[in-house]
Chain A
Amino acid sequence: MSVYLRLFWEFFKTGLFAVGGGMATLPFLKDIGESTGWYTYTELMNMLAVSESTPGPIGINMATYVGFTAAGIPGAVIATIGEVTPSIIVILIIAAMLKKFRDSKYVNNAFYGLRPASTGLIGAACVTVVLEVLTTVRVVSPGAGEGIVNGFALTGGSLLNWQGLALAAVLVALTNWVKKVKDWHPIVFIGVSAVVGVAFHFAGV
Chain B
Amino acid sequence: MEVSGLKELWELFWTFAKMGVMTFGGGYAMLPILQREVVENKHWATEEELVDYFAIGQCTPGIIAVNTATFIGQKKRGAVGGIVATLGLVFPSVVIISILAGLITNFSHLAWVKNAFAGIQVCVCVLIFNAVRKLLKKSVIDKRTAAIFLLVLSGGTFLNISPVWFVIAAAAIGILLKELEAKGK
Q: Are B160 and A110 in contact (CB under 8 A)?
A: no
Q: Are A133 and B125 in contact (CB under 8 A)?
A: yes
Out of A46, A95, A114, name the residue touching B174 (CB < 8 Å).
A114
Distance in Å from the Cβ of A11 to the closest Cβ of chain B? 11
Q: Which of A142, A194, A200 has the most CB of B within 10 A?
A: A194
Q: Which residues of A contact B89 (CB under 8 A)?
A: 57, 60
Out of B63, B139, B145, name the residue touching A57 (CB < 8 Å).
B63
B contact residues, range: 35 or more
Bound complex: CA A193 to CA B61 (Å): 33
Bound complex: CA A86 to CA B170 (Å): 20
Whether A1 sits at the interface, judged by CB under 8 Å, is no
* A:177-205 near B, CB below 8 Å: 185-187, 189-190, 192-198, 200-203, 205
Q: Which residues of B contact A57 (CB under 8 A)?
A: 20, 23, 26-27, 30, 63-66, 89-90, 93
Q: Are A113 and B119 in contact (CB under 8 A)?
A: no
* A:4-45 near B, CB below 8 Å: 13, 15-23, 25-28, 31, 34, 42, 45
Q: Who on chain A is nearest to B86 by CB? A: A84
Chain B binding surface SS class: helix
> Assuming the A-B contacts A45-B121, A126-B128, are A91 and B60 also in contact, with contact meaning beta carbons closer than 8 angstroms in the complex?
yes
- Contact string, B79-117, partner A, CB cutoff 8 A, digits 1/0? 100110010011011101110111010000001101111
Distance in Å from the Cβ of A4 to the closest Cβ of chain B? 15
Out of A18, A77, A139, A194, name the residue touching B157 (CB < 8 Å).
A139
> Assuming the A-B contacts A23-B128, A80-B94, A198-B116, are A56 and B23 also in contact, with contact meaning beta carbons closer than 8 angstroms in the complex?
yes
> Assuming the A-B contacts A31-B162, A87-B62, are A61 and B97 also in contact, with contact meaning beta carbons closer than 8 angstroms in the complex?
yes
Bound complex: CA A51 to CA B75 (Å): 30
Out of B104, B114, B153, name the residue touching A203 (CB < 8 Å).
B114
- Contact string, A108-127, partner B, CB cutoff 8 A, digits 1/0? 01111111111111111111
Distance in Å from the Cβ of A147 to the closest Cβ of chain B? 8
Q: Are B152 and A124 in contact (CB under 8 A)?
A: yes
Q: Are B74 and A92 in contact (CB under 8 A)?
A: yes
Q: Are B132 and A123 in contact (CB under 8 A)?
A: yes
Whether B172 sits at the interface, judged by CB under 8 Å, is yes
Please give the number of chain A residues whose Cβ is less than 8 angstroms from any Cβ of chain B in the complex: 110
Chain A binding surface SS class: helix
Q: Which of A17, A26, A45, A60 has the most CB of B within 10 A?
A: A60
> Assuming the A-B contacts A17-B163, A115-B138, A119-B140, are A171 and B123 also in contact, with contact meaning beta carbons closer than 8 angstroms in the complex?
yes
Q: Are A60 and B135 in contact (CB under 8 A)?
A: no
Out of A98, A109, A194, name the residue touching B119 (CB < 8 Å).
A194
Q: Which residues of B contact A113 (CB under 8 A)?
A: 145, 148, 170-175, 177
Show 28 A/B contacts (Cβ-Cβ < 8 Å), sorted by A: A17-B163, A19-B167, A51-B97, A52-B127, A55-B20, A59-B26, A112-B177, A113-B175, A118-B170, A119-B135, A119-B136, A119-B140, A121-B152, A121-B166, A127-B153, A130-B129, A133-B121, A139-B157, A149-B158, A164-B118, A171-B122, A175-B126, A175-B130, A186-B123, A193-B123, A197-B119, A197-B122, A203-B115
